[in-house]
Every structure is written in C-alpha cells, then in structure tokens.
Amino acid sequence: MQCTDTRLLTRRQAVLGLLGTVACARCTAAERAVAKARRSGFTEIASGIFVSSGRDEDADAANGGAIANVGFIVGRDAVATMDAGGSLEDGQALRAAIRAHTSLPIRYVILSHAHPDHVFGAPAFLEDRPEFVGHAKLPNALAIRGDYYRARLEAQVGKARAGSVVAPTLLVESTRNIDLGGRMLTLTAHPPAHTDSDLSVVDTASGTLLASDLLFVRRVPSLDGSLRGWLKELQILKGLRTSRAVPGHGPASVNWPSAAAGLERYLNALLSETRAAIARGVTIEEAVNVVGLSERGKWALFDDYHGRNVTQAYKELEWE
Amino acid sequence: MGMKSSHSARFAWVLSATMILLLASSAAAAVESTSTPDEGVAGADDPSRIARWNALREAVFGKREVAEGSAVIQMEVPARALDAALMPLGLTLKGGNTIKGVYLFIDNNPSPLAGRFLFGPAADPSTLKMRVRINEYTLVHAVAETRDGKLYGTHKFVKAAGGCSAPAGTNEADALKEMGRMKLRLLGEFEPGKPMQALLQIRHPNFNGMQMNQITRMFTPARFIRTVDVSYNGEQVLHVESDISMSEDPAITFGFVPREKGRLEVQAVDSTDARFVHIFDVPAPAAPSAASTDAAPDSPVAEPKDFWLGPVNGPVPATLSGGTVIRAHDLAALLKERSAVVVDVSNSQQRPEKLAPQAVWMPPPHPVIPGSLWIAGAGAGVIDPHTEKLYRQRLAEATKNDLDHPVVVYCHERCWLSWNAAKRAIRYGYRKVYWFPDGIEGWRAAGFGTETLTAAASPS
C-alpha cells in the first residue's frame, strides 16, 4: 500500500539520513545499515527518553515493519523499551540504538498491546533476559492472534526478518511502578480501548506520557477494542499532569493534552455518526459509505482503515 | 417442524461428506503447489479455484446441474472486504415463491458450505443478507434451489484474509456472558399482507475452533449457531443451517409476509444444543428503548387451578393467586429497600447424553439476579420428593422460618417453572411471595446487573 502523502515521505527520508547516522555512531556497520534503511533516527525528546517515529505505511519489504513509534527510557541503573519494534529486524535496530547510547542493562521490554507492529521485535531482546511487560490480557490476545499475525508479517517482510511472539513475563492488572534507578515509570493497564490489552506508561521525572496506540497522530486510528472505552480512557489520560506525550503513530513527541484533539474528534465523529446511522436503519454495509467522511483527507491511510473502523463501531453500538 | 428435521439429517450427511472430500483435495493441492507457491494470490479464474468449486458442487449436489443463474440470484459483496471476520453479503432472489432455498459456499474456507437457507410459507424469498468470515482470497458461490428441483448459481471473487483464524473479538468472557441475546429490527412499515424485511441479530461468539492457544497447544473448542428457525404466527418463515463461517454475533436479514399483526418467533440452537428462543411483536411495540429484547407481552392465559403440567416454555398467566406479580424496576426497588429471598428455579444445563465422551462440556456461567439462590427443579409440574424437601429446607433457612419474609421466584421469560415454584411457596405458607415473570432476560433488558453461578452451585 502506498503512503498517501509523498511529500511527507520525502521529508522523513531526509530526516532519516541525518539522524540515522548520528544516533548510530557506535553501532557496527551492519547494525547501522539496518537502522538507517528502515527508520528515522532516535530523538531525545526529553532527558533520557529516545524515540524514533515510524512510517505511516503498512508493513512491507521496503519498510521492514518499522511502522510504529518505538523508544527507550534510560535510568541510572537500567533501560526500558517502550514497545519492541514491528519485526525482528526492527527490534534489532532498536537494540542497536540503545547499545549505541548506553551499556546499561535492558531490564524491561514493555509491550503496549498485541498488535504486530509493536511486539514482533521482542525476540531481539531475548539475550538481554529482560522482563517482557504487558497488560494482563496480553497473553491471551497474543495466543489467539499470534500465529495469524506472524503469517501475515512473514508475507509482508519475509520470513527471516519477521520475528515472533514472545510471551510476556510480567503482567500488569491495574497499575504498577517499575524503577530504572532514580527513575520511576508508572504502568497503567486500561480497559478495552484501542485494543483490549492497552498499557500506557508515565515517566513522572520528565512529565511524559508514553501512550503508544492510545494516541494516534497523523496516521488514521485503528479501532480494535471499544470505541466508547477508548473515548473514556482518553478523558482520563487527558487529566494527567504531563505536558508531553509519545504517540504510537505520528511524531516522536507531541504536546499533551492538546495533541489528543484530532483523535478525539475522529472517535467522536465515528461514535455519533455510527449511532445516528444505526438509528436511521442504515445497514452495516451502507454505514461504511456514510460515516465519518468529514475525516477523509485529515489522516494518512484513511481509506485503508476507516471502513474497518466503521464496521467495528457499528458492531459495538448496534447492541447498545 | 417436520420441514426442519428431515432436512437437518440430510444436511449433516452432506456436510461430513464435504469435509472428507475437501481433506482429500487439499492434500492433492499441497502436492501441486510446488509449482504455484503462492496460492493466496491465484486469480478468480485460476484453474485451482474452478477445480475446488467443481469438487464442492459435486459433494453437495452430485450430478445435478447448476445453471448460470444471474436471472434468478444475484450476490452483492463489498468491492474490498474491510473486515475479513465480518463481511456483509447480500443476495437478491427473483422467482418469488418458486424459490425453495439457497446454499452459500465460501469455497476456500475450511468449512466451505457456510449456510443453507430454506424458505417457509410465510417467507418473502427476495432478499437474504448475512455477515460471514473469509479465511483467504476465495470465490463465494450462492446457489438457489427452486421448488421443482432446479439449481441456479452465481459467484463473486472476494479479496480478504484471516477472518477465521483471527476472530474479530477478543473479549471472550464478555461474549459468553451475553450469549443468546437477540434483537430484531423491522425494516419498513408494517402493512398487512405486504412483504417486509427484518434484521435479526443473535449475540453469540460463534467460536470456530480454529484458534490455537500457543501455551496449551489446544484449540479453543468450537461453539457456534447451528440452526435458526423463524416463524410468524406459527407459520415457518425461514430455516437456517449454518456453521463457523458465519461471523461472531450472527446477523441475518430476511423477508416475510405478515398477513396480520402478530409475533415473530425465533429459535436458535448452537452446537452444544443450547437453545435460545425470543419472540418479537410485529409491528414493533410503540415504546422502543430497550424493549426490542423483551419478550412480547403474552396474550391472556388463565391461571390453572393446580400446577402447570404442560410445556414449560410458552405464554404464562398475568397473575398468580395468593402472590404478587412484580416487574423489574419494582423488584430492584424491593431488593434495595429490604432483604428478600430471591430464588432462581431455572434448569441447569445437563451434558447431553449423545455428546461424545471426549467432547468438551462447558456450560456458560449461569447469570442470576445478584444474591439469588439457584434451586433447579423446584418449578416442575410434578416435583420429586427429594427436590421438594430441598426447596422447603432452603426457603426455611433463607427466611429464618419467617413466613412473612418476602420470597421472589423467577426463571426465564415465558417460563412456567417460576409460576409453579412461586405457587408452591404460597402453598408452603409464605405470605409474601412475588413472582417475577420476565425472568433473567427481563431483568437484563431493564438494565440491571447480574452475577454468575457455575453449575456446581446448583443442587443436583
């Protein structure tokens, strides 16, 4: 699938050339090649938090699955990653970037939810023996969908590069703190929202919310949990006293909570227009042609995901 | 319904024959596939697709000819399937009452005969819509059968993948909690004798048995809606035989001809023999709100003098001599105000005898009004002495032998068990017996919460 905005791509490619080289100054040549080819470099968005923005595309051979944002947080004693990358190769690039920056142990690999673009890089960290941290519902979601995701990813990027599911070793039921040494991260397990296994992270020291896919910027949101639930969780997250957020897709860093406005507008349009369609007796197949069309043109990949979002919303709301 | 039983037997045979045949043919395909490694992108006219359809057609129809049928049957699918686990599919049929039924095939699904639809005398066989799962790029065939035995086919090529192995929903626990809820939406205005359409929705996970748990290496057992029967004022509208190719929360749009005001009765049976029955008023009652899931108000039925010995499910009286009929909101208020003993007398689900010994028997959690005692059997027309003793004892314990303590009895909507059990409690001497005829369905429809009990909590 093509990115809808070629100008965006071109600009990102330019950034990629610069930052990719800088951030990977201490990598091996091979690691540098990997990191350079697929991702923009890692930007230090707040003291000790490094994020690389993914491409607004679907996974394919050219991007190697590097389509979601990934990052890492460096404490006094240890490192945590926020998501593992969208493929084994992408995970290796993330690991190389960490190693280029610090030799501290990678103690936590946080898996924000079950979608493949966030978890398939996990095998790249097995040698570090970290805790793989996830929502209490993550193991079940991975068990149900893992094989299917893997087959699809292998078709998209090739078998050797795809990676696999790694079972979480540390589960979060509601909230949990993890300590990187003088740096406490607060992990929150959310009720069904973007998916049913969403985990967000707050770094209090820097006032940063690592929202992963609870926050989409630029790329069209994908709904795979609960529309009403997502709007509710978004309200709660907006109440956090952090001035900065890292979305799962979009720029490496955005202002918080103002950057939630686009997502909220989209989800509210989906909610009110799907409800109205159901009330008018519009069928599920017709609804995809009438709901949320004012959002077209405001998001990358809109035509690839919006129809499915309407289907999901309809399915949820028709039982209200 | 004689129509149903004879066809079911034949259908089951056809299905199993199809399975065997497809196992054989897919093994053959695997051998050939070395030269065409990416079968997934084979086009609509690829010889492998035509061969598979020919094999399928022969398995189901034998040597009967399936004529090109665009004059009789047309199929509509989205240009691009947006969600492989929920692809809307519509059929338009021309031929009126000469059409006996429709077969739907999703050729490349592991269970390709997705459904068979038989129209009854009260049907308007002009439209059928459903939602299906698509496992990989596939031809979809629909074949109409006329009453004189002719077959007319049409097909579409669908590009979608993953609908079977990637279930749309991951909230399995929630899906089971709500299982069996139904909604009916009437499309168009009611006018006696004029065909109208209805969208029937059934809450059911339709587990397809294809998701492997990577930790246990076991497949989540299949559990799916197997038959749906719809009748209008007792006259058959539609008989559906379906399986795992139908989406989660199956939804079917069909046409029927209501000659007068009446009731549409829907009975769905799943693969564990769990039975879900709902009745809907036509035209729909004036106040919509949550009422679409309520059972229709029953026509007046006189109270029998003694316990009811007839069929357990059906219209029930509006009254109970010596007791009080209570509705959901009043019951909620009563429970809030003061302590009452609430007794659920619905039956527990017994493992069917014919179930294979290795089959997983796992009845869903039993939802009850919070705090309920579950005393199965207390509402039988003729009660066995053991159960009677147990019922008396548990009432005595729960009320602390206070005959003025309120006792509320319920089971399901349109269910005589609670009427009988409430009457029995009155005969035992309880002076404040409330009968809640709307049952657990009515309680939920009114928006009140439930808690769940497992079968072990039910006295055997």
The DSSP result for B147-187, as a single string, is TTS-EEEEEEEE----TTTS-S---HHHHHHTTT-EEEEEE
CA distance B229 to B282: 17
Q: Is the pLDDT of residue A283 over 80?
A: yes
Q: Is B173 on the interface with A (CB under 8 A)?
A: no
Interface residue of A58, A142, A144 to substitute, partner B, most B CBs within 10 Å: A144
Q: Is B175 on the interface with A (CB under 8 A)?
A: no
Tokens of B350: 């017994």
Q: Is B41 on the interface with A (CB under 8 A)?
A: no
Q: Is A312 on the interface with B (CB under 8 A)?
A: yes
Q: B253 to chain A nearest CA, in Å? A: 10
Residue type at position B244:
I
**Poorest-pLDDT segment among A14-23, A289-298, B149-158, B433-442:** A14-23
Q: Is A228 on the interface with B (CB under 8 A)?
A: no
Q: Is the pLDDT of residue B75 over 90?
A: yes
Q: Which of B80, B166, B185 sits opposite A281 (nearest CB)?
A: B185
Q: Is the pLDDT of residue B298 over 80?
A: no
**By CB neighbour count within 10 A (0-12 exposed, 13-18 middle, 19+ buried), where does B5 fall?**
exposed
Q: Which of A114, A152, A284 sits opposite B88 (nearest CB)?
A: A284
**Residue-level pLDDT at B415:** 87
Q: Is A284 on the interface with B (CB under 8 A)?
A: yes
Chain A residue with minimum CA distance to B183: A319
Highest mean pLDDT among A117-126, B110-119, B201-210: A117-126
Q: What is the mean pLDDT of residues B69-94?
A: 90
Q: What is the mean pLDDT of residues B193-217?
A: 76
CB contact under 8 A, B82 and A307: yes
**Residue-level pLDDT at B460:** 37
**Residue-level pLDDT at B228:** 96
Q: What is the mean pLDDT of residues A116-142?
A: 95
Chain B residue with minimum CA distance to A168: B215
Q: Yes or no: say if A214 and A205 are a contact pair by the CB < 8 Å rule.
A: no
**Residue-level pLDDT at B457:** 42
Q: Using an 8 Å CB-CB cutoff, list chain B residues near A283.
A: 88, 129, 199, 253
**Poorest-pLDDT segment among A63-77, B30-44, B149-163, B209-223:** B30-44
Q: A282 to chain B nearest CA, in Å? A: 10
Interface size A-B, in CB pairs within 8 Å, comes to: 77
Question: At B353, is the pLDDT very low, low, confident or very high (cuts 50, 70, 90)?
Answer: low
Chain B residue with minimum CA distance to A166: B214
Q: Yes or no: say if B320 and B304 are a contact pair by the CB < 8 Å rule.
A: no
**Poorest-pLDDT segment among B168-172, B287-291, B332-336:** B287-291
Q: Is the pLDDT of residue B305 over 50?
A: yes
**Residue-level pLDDT at B312:** 82
**Poorest-pLDDT segment among A179-188, A263-272, B183-192, B283-292:** B283-292
CB contact under 8 A, A318 and B131: no
Q: Using an 8 Å CB-CB cutoff, list chain B residues near A197.
A: 170
Q: Yes or no: say if A108 and A134 are a contact pair by the CB < 8 Å rule.
A: no
Q: Which of residues 156-215 of A touch B (CB under 8 A)?
A: 165, 167, 192, 195-197
Residue type at position B352:
P
**Poorest-pLDDT segment among A159-173, A261-275, B78-92, B294-308:** B294-308
Chain B residue with minimum CA distance to A304: B82
Q: Using an 8 Å CB-CB cutoff, list chain A residues near B88.
A: 283-285
Residue type at position B302:
A
Name the residue among B458, B459, B457, B395 with its Cα closest to residue B432: B395
**Residue-level pLDDT at B187:** 87
Q: Yes or no: say if B372 and B342 are a contact pair by the CB < 8 Å rule.
A: yes
Q: Which of residues 211-240 of B touch A (CB under 8 A)?
A: 211-215, 220
Neighbours of B428 (CB within 10 A): 15
Q: Is the pLDDT of residue B443 over 50?
A: yes
Q: Is A222 on the interface with B (CB under 8 A)?
A: no
ipTM of the complex: 0.74
Residue B153: strand pairing partners: B68, B143
Q: For all residues of chain B together, what is the average pLDDT? A: 80
Name the residue among B433, B217, B431 with its Cα closest to residue B325: B433
Q: What percent of chain B has pLDDT over 90?
A: 45
Interface residue of B76, B83, B156, B220 to substitute, partner A, most A CBs within 10 Å: B83
Size of chain A in residues? 320
Strand order through the sheet with A208-216? A175-179, A184-189, A199-203, A208-216, A244-249, A254-255
Neighbours of B41 (CB within 10 A): 12
Q: Is the pLDDT of residue B149 over 80?
A: yes
CB contact under 8 A, B170 and A196: yes
CA distance B28 to B306: 66
**Residue-level pLDDT at B22:** 34
**By CB neighbour count within 10 A (0-12 exposed, 13-18 middle, 19+ buried), where does B210 fall?**
buried
Q: What is the mean pLDDT of residues A127-149?
A: 90
Q: Is B289 on the interface with A (CB under 8 A)?
A: no
Chain B residue with minimum CA distance to A278: B185
CB contact under 8 A, B215 and A146: no
**Poorest-pLDDT segment among A139-148, A169-178, B231-240, B280-289:** B280-289
Question: At A28, is the pLDDT very low, low, confident or very high (cuts 50, 70, 90)?
Answer: low
Highest mean pLDDT among A151-160, A263-272, B51-60, B264-273: A263-272
Chain B residue with minimum CA distance to A289: B78
List CB contacts of B229: < 8 A, sequence separation 6 or more: B1, B4, B236, B238, B239, B240, B266, B267, B268
CA distance B104 to B93: 13
CA distance B396 to B412: 24
Tens digits of residue pLDDT in B374-429: 998 899 988 988 999 999 999 999 999 999 999 999 999 888 999 999 999 999 99
What is the bridge-based pairing of β-strands A170-172 and A131-135? parallel
Q: Which of B90, B171, B214 sits opposite A143 (nearest CB)?
A: B214
Q: Which of A140, A145, A308 sits opposite B83 (nearest CB)?
A: A308
Q: B395 to chain A nearest CA, in Å? A: 37
Q: What is the mean pLDDT of residues A248-267?
A: 97
**Poorest-pLDDT segment among A72-76, A246-250, B1-5, B397-401:** B1-5
CB contact under 8 A, B214 and A142: yes
CB contact under 8 A, B215 and A139: yes
Q: For all residues of chain A together, what is the average pLDDT? A: 88
CA distance B140 to B91: 12
Q: Is A143 on the interface with B (CB under 8 A)?
A: yes
CA distance B272 to B252: 21
DSSP-derived secondary structure letter, A238: H
**Poorest-pLDDT segment among A215-224, B327-336, B426-435:** B327-336
**Residue-level pLDDT at A245:** 98
Q: Is B408 on the interface with A (CB under 8 A)?
A: no
Question: At B367, is the pLDDT very low, low, confident or very high (cuts 50, 70, 90)?
Answer: confident
Q: Using an 8 Å CB-CB cutoff, list chain A residues near B211.
A: 143-145
**Residue-level pLDDT at B209:** 64
Question: At B446, is the pLDDT very low, low, confident or very high (cuts 50, 70, 90)?
Answer: confident
CA distance B411 to B399: 20
Chain B residue with minimum CA distance to A280: B187
**Residue-level pLDDT at B41:** 56
Q: Is B86 on the interface with A (CB under 8 A)?
A: yes
CB contact under 8 A, B165 and A283: no
Residue type at position A30:
A
Question: At B147, is the pLDDT very low, low, confident or very high (cuts 50, 70, 90)?
Answer: very high
CA distance B155 to B143: 9
**Poorest-pLDDT segment among A50-54, A137-141, B348-352, B369-373:** B348-352
Q: Which of A144, A147, A283 sits opposite B170 (nearest CB)?
A: A144
Name the residue among A218, A207, A197 with its Cα closest to residue A73: A207
Q: Is B206 on the interface with A (CB under 8 A)?
A: no
Q: What percent of chain B has pLDDT over 70?
A: 77
Q: A270 to chain B nearest CA, in Å? A: 16
CB contact under 8 A, A311 and B86: yes
Neighbours of A193 (CB within 10 A): 27
CA distance A305 to A222: 6
Q: Using an 8 Å CB-CB cutoff, list chain A residues near B171.
A: 192, 196
pTM check: above 0.80: no
